[in-house]
Structure formats: C-alpha cells, structure tokens
Amino acid sequence: MFGVIDWIVLAAYLGLSIFIGLWAARNNRSFKDYMLGGGSMPWIPIGISLIATSVSTTTFLGVPADVFDADMTLIMTNIGSFLSILVIGWLFIPRLRKSGIQSAYELLEKSFSRAVRRIAAVFYAMHLVLRTGILLFAPSLVLAPILQIPVWAAILISSVVAILYTWYGGFKAVVWTDVMQFGVFFGGGIVALFILVNGIGGFGELVSIARETGKSNWFNLSMDPSNARTLLSVGIVYAVLEIAIRGCDQQFVQRYLSCKDVKAANRSSILSMVLGVVCSLLFYWTGAALFIYYRVKNASPLPENLGVNDVFPYFIVNGLPAGLTGLLVAAIYAAAMSSISSAVHALSNTTEKDILCKPAGQESMFRAKLWIVFWGICGTGAAFVAASQAGSLLKNALFFTGLFTGPLLALFLLSFFASYLRSFSVLTGVACGMLSLLLFNGIPFVPSYVPPLEGVFSWPWNPLISCTVSVWIALCVDFVIPRKRVDLVVKG
C-alpha cells in the first residue's frame, strides 16, 4: 500500500516542481522571456521538453497494458515518427524560423487572412483543451485508488501544481520542469523494469519467453487499412499525424522558436525522436515483463477480473518496496503535469497572439498569466467532463484528434505551397475535410449515428483523410469559383 515514505517522496517531487517554477521566474522581464524563454534556450533541454510534452500517462500506463494484452506491433509508430522528423526538419522548421513569427498560426495570416489565423487558433484550442482533459483524467483513475482519494482530488493535485509553477515561471519553468519530470518518468520506468526482470530471472529469460509467447512480435506487413496494427497504418500513415503535431502544434512550434537558430531547433527535434524511441523500448518491454511475471512465471497472483489497464498499477502498489511506489506514482504525475503545463502555456500564447491578435510590443505578460489560469481551469473542467464519459473516452479522443489535426496540417501545407488561395477557398476546404470524417467515424455523444463506411479505415487514417480532403477541396473551390464572386467575403 501507499505508505508514509511514499507520501514523502511524492510531496518532495511536487515541492521540487513548484521550486523550479519560482527559480525560473527570476529572469522573466518581458513577454518574449515569458513565452519563448528569450529566444535563446539551449537545444538539449528543449529536446527533452519536446519528448516530455509528447509522452503522457498513455505511454507510462497504456503501452505496458497494450503489450500485456497483445504484442509490440504498435512500436512501429516510431517509424512514422522518424519520417515526420525528416519532413519537419526539411520543410517546417526552416520556414517557421525564417518567417519571423512568434506563434504558429501567425503564419496563416501572412499567407491568407486574419480570419484563417483565428479559426485555426480556435480549432487548436478546442483540440488541446480536450486532450488536456483526457490527459488529466486518465491517470487520475489510477492515482485515486492508489492514494485512496477521490478522482476529482487526484485531478486537482496535477492541475493546481502545474498551473502554479507555469503561472510563476512561464516558458522556462515549463522547459526545466519538463527536464526534471522526464527524468522521474524515465527513471520510474527503469526501476519497474529492473524489478520485474529480477523477478523473471534475468533479461535473457525475458527476451526468450517474450519471443516464445509472441509478446516481442512488432512487425506486420498487412495492407489492410482497417487494421491499426500494421506497418501501413501505424508506420507510414501514422507519420501524417506526427507531422501535424510536430509541425502545427503551438507547443512544438513554441519550442522551435525558443532555440537560437534553425540548426539548434533541428537538433532538439532529432533528440526528442531518439528519446521517444528509447522510451518506447523501455515501456514495451515493461509490458512484456509484466505478462511473463504474472502469467508465465506466476511470480505473484493477480486478483480475478483485473483489467489489463490495471495490471501495471497493481504491480506499482503491491510489487514495489516502500519509497519506490512513491517514485512510480510521482512518475505518473510527472507525465500528467508535463502535459498540462505545456498545454496551458501554449494556449496562453495562442490566445494573446492569434485569437486577440496583439501585435508585437502590445502583448501583456499580466494578461498571459491570466490566460494560463483560465485555460488551466478549462482543462480541469474538461477532465471532469471526461470523467462522465469514461466508457467512450479513447474513441472520443481519437475522433477529435483526426477532426482538428488533419485540417490544421492542410492549412500549413497550403500556406507553404498555395498561399495564392483565397480565404474562402481555404476555409471551405477545412470544413469539408472535417465533415469527411463523418463518413468513417461515429459522432461522439450521438450514438444513433451510424457512418456509412464505418470500419473501412482504422484510427491512424483519420488525419490523412481530413488533411487530404481539405487540401483538394480548397484547390478545387479556388479554381472553380471566379474571384470576383469571392470579393464580397470579408477577409479580416
């Protein structure tokens, strides 16, 4: 059970997070300092911060659960990540850096109009608030029974601490706490795997049994688009989602802009990918070790009717000595807090720069701090809403991810290669791209709707579908409709 020593470890971790926020606040003298760390942050902590922003409790808890239940085929997402890094380094980072922007969606006003910029920022805000809510709620389902507190209290601990240090320290606090949190997150995974391997009889035994039981299977060449566990779906097509996130998400763009030049930004991006691969290997093997520990070696009995998502939390509480349980719980909190701190800080910048469209010199660090609190409250509220929709949580998250990320990627691609398009054409394309997903996916909270092509494509295809439709419709509309008929459209 969670004892006194564990509480001390957890409290020390939370206290250290707040201390880093206070420490980072001492050099915030301007809006640029608060939002971009002055634009000269070292690339190594930025790279660590990028991966800390990417990984979440889904990695820490969900990946081991997936391997326990199936195998390692989803590790092929790292192939998509590698492909995305090439595209981001060649296409996105140089253009973003040379454009002179201070926020991701400022580029869309330069290419199209302020209306397109604002709409993109609103789409992003909706997507990120939803994602923040899920990333707060999911770990709280695990933390609440471990800490023997209500789910709402587990949610508040993560959100309040993260909002507090972000409010005080700004971007530097987010980056340096990310570095610390990634260390806790990664260290917790190593500790868990080390203890499991010892219980199994060594790493050689782990590898041998994993191969015999099929848990180390990771490659699937099937061309079936309805299967999400293939090289085509989670290796190649998944790269589109990675490009959309790494190239269009303000959390990532903000970090590229905080580096001193293009070379440093690319180094941080590559470092994040390398660390991502290492994290994947760690937690996929942890899942295999859990299966062998409990199902093959029977080193310890599992309670009957225990779900696969509860196996790792059960091991954390019952299979670790005092103090290490507190470390693993701190690691879960590290993933959750890294996600919310990055999200609310990015949303604050997006609100000030892209929704309010404050020009350089007229931004307000005071307003930015208020927006951090506002978006933190919204994210916490989304977590409470997610709690009431727990049965369809993953399905809803995947739907909204494809709904917003695909069209956002389309906007950036059009701004790079077809900036001559009119705002009307671009927005029409985006609307059609979003609607296209209704052909293949159900509508969250509308159970009566049955999509005509349900099951044809698995979830990694959603961003590709919505992005492709957005681009082609935008190009076709601009070609078909005479320009004089669009002159009536307000572009501001």
Query: Contact 44/272 with Cβ under 8 angstroms?
Result: no
Closest CA to 275 of 343, 181, 402, 207: 181
Residue 40: the pLDDT is 80
For residues 114 and 106, the answer to whether their CB atoms sit within 8 Å is: no
Return d(Cα 291, Cα 275) in angstroms, integer: 25
- pLDDT value at position 319? 87
Write down the pLDDT at residue 397.
64
Q: Which residue type does 5 have? A: I
Coil vs helix vs strand at 299: coil
Contact (Cβ atoms closer than 8 angstroms) between residue 435 and residue 211: no
201 backbone φψ class: left, alpha, beta (φ>0; ψ -120 to 50)? left
Enter the tokens of residue 386.
Answer: 């997610």
Look up residue 111 and give its two tokens.
Answer: 């290419």
Is the dihedral angle over the CA atoms 322, 323, 328, 329 positive or is it negative? positive
492 residues of the chain, pLDDT tens digit each: 678 888 898 899 888 888 888 887 777 777 878 888 777 889 999 999 999 888 777 778 888 989 999 999 999 999 999 999 999 999 999 999 998 888 889 999 999 999 999 999 998 998 888 888 888 887 887 788 888 888 888 888 888 888 988 888 888 888 998 898 899 889 989 999 999 999 999 999 999 999 999 999 999 999 999 999 999 999 999 999 999 999 999 999 999 999 999 999 999 999 999 999 999 999 999 999 999 999 999 888 888 888 888 888 889 888 888 888 888 888 888 888 888 889 999 999 899 889 988 776 666 788 888 999 999 999 999 888 777 664 445 556 667 777 889 999 999 999 999 999 999 999 999 999 999 999 998 876 677 888 999 999 998 999 999 999 999 999 999 999 887 654 445 444
Alpha-helix residue ranges (DSSP H) falling in 201-304: 203-213, 238-248, 250-258, 262-291
* DSSP class per residue in 433-453: HHHHGGGTSPBTTBTT---TT
Supply the pLDDT for residue 331. Answer: 86
Cα–Cα distance between 151 and 141 in angstroms, integer?
6
Q: How far apart are CA 200 and CA 214, in angstroms?
A: 17
Which residue in this structure is represented by tokens 């239940």?
69
Q: What is the pLDDT of residue 389?
A: 60
Joined tokens for residue 102: 């201070």
Give the per-residue pLDDT at 221.
Answer: 92
**pLDDT score at 492:** 47
Tell me, what's the pLDDT at 390?
A: 47
